[in-house]
Chain A
Amino acid sequence: MIRLLIYISLIALLTGSFIPLISVKHARIVRKFSLFAAVIGSIAMLAFSSAILYTGNALRIFLFQVHPLFQIGLFIDRLAAFFMFTIAIVGLAVAVYSLSYIEHYEYKTRKNVLTGLMSIFILSMALVIASANMASLLFFWEIMALSSFILVCLDYDKKETRKAALFYFAMTQLSTLFLVAAFAIIYNITGSLEITQMQSLSSGPQITPLLSTILFLCIFLGFGIKAGIIPFHKWLPYAHPAAPSNISALMSGLMIKVAIYGLIRFIMFVLPVASLWWGVLILVAGTLSAILGVIYALKEHDIKTLLAYHSIENIGIILMGFGLYIIFSLNNLTQLAMLSLASSLFHTLNHALFKSILFMAAGSVVNATGTKNIEELGGLIKKMPTTAVLFLIGAVSISGLPPFNGFVSELMLFQAFFNVYLLGSYSLQMLLVVCVAVLALTSALAAACFVKAFGIIFLAQPRSKKAEDAKEAPSSMLLGPGILAALCILLGVFSFQIFQAVSGMFGIQFSIPNLLVIGILLILTYMLALFFADSGKKSKLKNIRESETWGCGYKFPLKHIPTIPTEYTASGFSEPIVNIFKKFYLPKRNLERNYYDQAQSVFKDGFVEISLIKFFEKYMYMPVAAGVDFVSRKISRLQSAGLDAYVSYLFIACLGIIILMRFII
């Protein structure tokens, strides 16, 4: 039965990806058909992944052999099933959302490409997770990278999009490079590429500490780059705004989670037994990503870039949980380790849910208004009420506020942190104390950032003509994120019951508060307050007078300059925080003044510019890029020579091979 469902899912997604190629004439029907296939595939995936989650019977399916080393086979245990469950839910919602979204897309022929590639993208992510073999993992990893690359550069007419796509492609290939290196080392040691039969790696005598360090670093960098941890995060804020919104939702909600899956899978099951500094490195990287991600997000006024930075932040939180898991389990605190792991996994699911909602709602907004700049939006809560509610649910969830799901995973992480006194090492305890403070700051800043995002986009008056003319999105674009929003609420409110149910799986009892009771109490108190406030004789809630906003005696909007709104702007909102954290933004002021006279006393004109130094780009990416450029220029000089030179290269190469074969090996 489960096998049947898996085949159905695979076939449906495959069909979904090839249908759009059939006909350009009846493009609309074909697209609808393809998306329905994707929906069916997602539902089937949902069914079999929850079945595996339920039974816990790991499943192994052999599909196809290309080469003895490169077999395509599936291996789905609970961990994989959990991630596939996430993919299925988000994939389903995004497919539903895309039913209308794709029709709004500007270009005609690219719509088909978009539809088809979306199915391939979802399929490849699922297959990366299900891969039983490192070669096939790499194969699907590359398909995932390629399809997402094409999806990102769908708007290739724009210059920024091309730049973003190339940047993304370079980074993703870099991650593949590290993975290939890691897999090669593993193959060298064990002689096998099977992911699941790696016990020899941990027990075998062949592995030296140095090798295991290199192996860990390769795995960490390979998956870390793809997950977008700082300082390898730069592709996220480029690629997400460039891609269509449904693809951003998939990339941010799922693709970076695939990298997290890889990290967890390899560190837990494949690599030799972890050492403490792995955990510390992951924890510190996670903490840095969390805090820097949210600080950069606060500065951003492009809605999708803002969300991209928040993905970095949440990846940081997930990694903090996983780092804690390693630290605690090496200190023999199994219960706390499992609590951290559970929080990490739960936050993975939660982030996939609410980030997809936010990206989809943002996509609706961008579609309706034609701008991504939140400074031009405003007042959309009246124009797009349902989208506003969806965005609000996403915003409350991502800010980690009760009784939504984001709160629960953060709560569990904090609970794990609050037991640091059980650790033996003082330095480690101090490190964790600092991490707690940073995590608290992160979560509070995230709330501030989403007050800004929601308040500026949806509240007050429209700040431009575009925002005034906005219309509510069509129903399927509300249904898609609506499913996820309902799940956000359910996962939050029923978290106590859910974790009681899964406590056997982790072998610990979760002591999290019963949010169902709290939720009921909240609603009850709300009703009571409404009732009491209304019960007065004269004052009925309906009896509300509307008037102008008080403006210190001025009339809004000012009559003589009616176009200038007096409402607060996004940059105004984030100004205090930007001021407090200005060290992190590295603002650079460029001031030029011209004077009429030599003594510089009569001011003529001037030029002032405040720019933010793109720290990582300037000091990390660019030097590397320049170095690569330099080397390749040197090499290309060799290439441009004439025939004689080539013959001489050939001569040297042949001689070299013979020497190598005969004398060295």
Chain B
Amino acid sequence: MTAILQNFMQGSVQKFLRESLPILAMIGYAALNTFFVILISPFFMGVIKKAKALCQRRKGQPVLQQYYNLLKLFKKETVVSHNSSWIMLKAPYINIAVIIVASLFVPVLFSYNNTFSFYADHTTDNNTSNYTNPNNASNSPIFGNILLFLYLLALGKFFMALSGLDAGSAFGGMGSSREMSLSAILEPITFLILLAFAFVFKTTNFFEIFTLTSTTGIVLANPALILLAASLFVVLIAETARVPVDNPETHLELTMIHEAMILEQSGKNLALMEASHAIKQTLFMAVFINIFVPFGYIGNTGNIGNSAAITFVSIMIAMLWFSLKGTILAVAIALFESSTAKLRLFKVPELFMISFFLAFLTIIIEVFR
């Protein structure tokens, strides 16, 4: 009797597990990836600030200061303008929601087979992952689509720009105007880089791309792809409002783009805006790192539950690797920032144009060889 019950229990639990595995895996992946990204991003911000301070022969703030800043801002009250509407109040929440969902699209530590269908009966088969059959739409991956990732970020930017206009101050308007203009002319570069990736990797899914780069050495086989790193670096600099394009440290009229846009935010709302900016930076850094220096990344194509590659230890090691590489990249960004001067606003398109040219050339030589 007990044996039967036990059998039944076990069977049903196993069956339950097998059926709900994709969803559990998704939740597990989402929790892990998101929390890691959220927790690490203020650290990178702090590293950049510290390294810049050291370059300027200052002592600089502690590396962990960004965490204290965020906590402090969360405790402060929110002050909004009489003129502003619900856009101002909701925009930080929309922004952080969008950025967090976008963070699910960039696997920082490991890939897994994130395809599942709500309709077809789901038999978890390790051997036929979506990589073998990318055209099968019922198995199309939930996360990882690069285009959706970019457009999610654009959605956040849209609402951020609206909130900049909402208070009716000249500064916010100036910030959102410049942000939208610069991001508009940055877009062709981003898409050319994407196109080059699509040419080389034959996919536009981050999970698959990172798996390819970390397991096959495809970047080494296409050395010209390294040229794209320069273009991607320009995109990274511009998207995260760094020096030749914007100056993250001042609110002066000449430089203000991103900072001016969130000038009217305060308290919790400001904290959310800052946090989402930091997360966005980490995401772009993760894209850069996982494509060009992918070692340490767990690229696998199996499902989470029954893949040997994903264990607690390996994830820990991946975290360490990523933190290390991220710190190095952050220092590199800081050095780059310290060694260049802020460009005049209308010279920025020239920088973008050079970067566009580079991406175009890379496509020509690498793709149409």
Contacts and interface: CB of A to CB of B under 8 A. Distances in A.
Asked if A pairs with B, the answer is yes
Interface of A: 335, 378-379, 381-382, 396, 399-402, 407, 411, 414-415, 417-421, 426, 429-430, 433, 436-441, 443-445, 447-448, 450-452, 454-456, 458-461, 496, 499-500, 503, 508-514, 517-518, 521-523, 525-526, 529-530, 533, 536, 538-539, 543-552, 556, 565-569, 572-577, 579-580
B93 A518 contact: no
Interface stretch (B51-59, B182-190, B235-243, B295-303): B182-190
Contacts of B191: 414, 436-437, 439-440
Given A402-B155, A576-B345, A548 B177 contact: no
B222 interface: no
B161 interface: yes
B166 A418 contact: no
A263 B202 CA distance: 33
Contact of A459 (B85, B98, B192, B367): B85
**Most chain B CB neighbours (cut-off 10 Å) among A396, A426, A447:** A447
Contacts, number: 257
Contacts of A510: 137
A543 to B, nearest CB: 7
B135 A511 contact: yes
12 contacts: A379-B83, A399-B154, A407-B151, A437-B192, A500-B137, A508-B135, A513-B140, A513-B141, A517-B142, A530-B93, A545-B77, A549-B168
A130 to B, nearest CB: 32
B148 A381 contact: no
Contacts of B168: 378, 459-461, 549, 556, 565-567
Contacts of A429: 367-368
B190 to A, nearest CB: 7
Contacts of A513: 140-142, 145, 148
A455 B176 contact: yes
Interface of A is mostly: helix
Contact of B204 (A402, A418, A567): A418
B148 A518 contact: yes
A500 B174 CA distance: 44
Interface of B: 74-75, 77-87, 89, 93-94, 96-98, 100-101, 104, 119, 134-138, 140-142, 145, 147-148, 151-152, 154-155, 157-158, 161-162, 165-174, 176-178, 180-188, 190-192, 194-195, 198-199, 202, 204, 263-264, 267-268, 272, 345-346, 349, 356, 360, 363-364, 367-368
B9 to A, nearest CB: 31
Given A379-B83, A407-B151, A459-B165, A533 B137 contact: no
Contact of A509 (B136, B170, B178): B136
B167 to A, nearest CB: 5
B194 A566 contact: no
A533 B158 contact: no
B82 to A, nearest CB: 6
A546 B6 CA distance: 63
A608 B166 CA distance: 33
Given A452-B180, A568-B173, 12 more contacts: A378-B168, A401-B158, A407-B151, A414-B191, A436-B195, A451-B158, A455-B161, A459-B85, A536-B75, A546-B82, A552-B171, A580-B185
A503 B140 CA distance: 14
